Amino acid sequence: MSPALPLLGIGLFYLLFFGFFFLVAIGGTAVWILALISCVKHESANDNTKIVWVLVIVFLHFLGGLIYLLVRRPQRIRELGH
């Protein structure tokens, strides 16, 4: 067996490992940006709901964006129609 073969396997492992986390990070950032744009663009400014949701999205990053998109956005669409 060639001595370079185990190194090739380790390199492939690291490539897949960091590639996976890179894709997760890009996806999380995309969800964050989508939620932030949706909130700023469509949320009504009365009773400070826009400010609160923007702060939740900004400080909780991916988790805040996911909460907004799964909880508040459908509720806002039912209430306001957009």
Q: Give CA–CA dist 36/33, Å, rounded.
A: 5
24 compared with 82, residue with greater pLDDT: 24
Q: Which amino acid is at 79?
A: E
User: What is the residue range of 49's domain?
Assistant: 4-80
User: Quick one: what percent of the chain has pLDDT higher than 70?
Assistant: 88
The residue with tokens 């996976």 is 20
pLDDT at 74: 84
- Count how many domains the chain has: 1
Q: Which of 54, 36, 49 is nearest to 79 (CA)?
A: 49
